[in-house]
Amino acid sequence: MSEEQQRSVLSYDPADEYRPEPLPPPEIPAWKNGSIRIGIHTSIAGDIVRALDLAHGLGANALQIFSSSPRMWERGDSRISDVDAKRFRERRRELCLGPLVVHDSYLINLASPNPVLRTRSVQAFHHEIIRAISLGADYLVAHPGSARDGTREAAVAAIVQGLRQATRGLKLGQLRILLENTAGHGASVGSRFEELKAILDGCPELPLGICIDTAHLFASGLDIRKPGGLDGTLAAIDESLGLDRVPVIHVNDSKTALGSRVDRHEHIGKGRIGLAAFRAILNHPMLAGKAFIAETPIDRPGDDRRNVATLWKLVAKTVVATGRDGMKPRRSRNKGSTGRKRSRGSSEKARR
Ligand SMILES: [Zn+2]
Ligand SMILES: [Zn+2]
């Protein structure tokens, strides 16, 4: 080949320009098919994959879990092994469960004025995020924190900074962190929507959203029993936070009275909120497309199955639970009182 020929062979042809293949559109998980999502908090005791089968067996199509013990500070390596995480994601796909919500540890307080507790909390929350990502979770629900003896403003600022520190260096992917409204016990932040809004506004770069808990709304003084009260509350949430930032509703009835500021969950329809209100909540047009997840107590075997069935009934669907009740009631230390709780239980006090 002469030099001239060679040059002509090597000459630039725009058709030869390298054009990368267009990326395939992100795969939409099968559970995102527009159907109503009803879930329940299930136990990961023994084997984390079992939580999926438990939820499925109870008739739920969504679920919430803790990714580690919610009442113990992590010791050593808190990561979930790659093998377990893979098994979990595969089984979840098979059972078509979603969304998957992970609830953070009760011990975490990003607002703690105690520097040791705060540092521990930031580290623990960092690990919560890593575990949630490895499980392929859609949402990580977090209680904002407690101001203790500090001011609300300082607490909100500490939470904003804590969220930034805990997410540093992590690629969250599809995971969103949802701040949960609280009953307003003691110095807990987040019973007022403005406080949640201040946190959202404080870190616009983070994928944050909100989880609304019905028992906490009620205990904080919002009367969602009457249609007007429910409409007004939803309008207030929409105005201050935006309902489009609320993908998950914790559906819990309340043992405690309106405005008690005490957080005690009750079976759906058996508490102070009542069945009619839950029918209105589950069918409210402003809540269409939200996932409804129960964190109801287990007082008797079968309570979880009954609560899931009640929720389906309220949306006029019959779903047959195929599994056995996998979780035993927690033994009461204080018979006849509210002490009969399982770990996901219901109280936020005295842990911070
Ligand atoms: Zn909740
Ligand atoms: Zn609660």
Question: Which CATH number belongs to the domain containing residue 189 in this structure?
Answer: 3.20.20.150
Average pLDDT of span 39-48? 95
CA of 262 to the centre of ligand 1 (A): 13
- Among the bound ligands, name the one nearest to the CA of residue 349: 2
Instruction: Kindly state whether residue 336 falls inside one of the protein's structural domains.
Output: no
Domain range for 257 = 33-314
Average pLDDT of span 22-36? 85
Percent of the chain with pLDDT over 90: 78
CA of 127 to the centre of ligand 2 (A): 23
Which of the four pLDDT bands, split at 50, 70 and 90, describes residue 328?
low
Helix or strand or coil: residue 352?
A: coil
* Cα–Cα distance measured from residue 113 to residue 155, given in angstroms and rounded to the nearest whole number: 8
For ligand 2, a single-atom ion, which residues have Cβ within 5 Å? 263
* Cα–Cα distance measured from residue 342 to residue 301, given in angstroms and rounded to the nearest whole number: 12
Instruction: Kindly state whether residue 22 falls inside one of the protein's structural domains.
Output: no
Based on the residue annotation, tell me whether 71 is a catalytic residue of this protein: yes
| 302 secondary structure, DSSP code | T
* Cα–Cα distance measured from residue 278 to residue 253, given in angstroms and rounded to the nearest whole number: 8
Instruction: Kindly state whether residue 343 falls inside one of the protein's structural domains.
Output: no
Q: Are strands 188-189 and 145-146 parallel, antiparallel or unpaired?
A: antiparallel
- pTM (2 d.p.): 0.86
Instruction: Kindly state whether residue 243 falls inside one of the protein's structural domains.
Output: yes
Q: Is 277 left (phi over 0), alpha (psi -120 to 50) or beta?
A: alpha
Based on the residue annotation, tell me whether 216 is a catalytic residue of this protein: yes
User: Residue 22: is its pLDDT beyond 70?
Assistant: yes
Q: How many folded domains does the chain comprise?
A: 1
pLDDT, residue 27, reads 80
User: Residue 344: is its pLDDT beyond 90?
Assistant: no
pLDDT, residue 148, reads 93
Residue 331 CB neighbours (<10 A): 8
User: Residue 238: is its pLDDT beyond 80?
Assistant: yes
CA–chain centroid gap for 141, Å, is 3
pLDDT, residue 89, reads 97
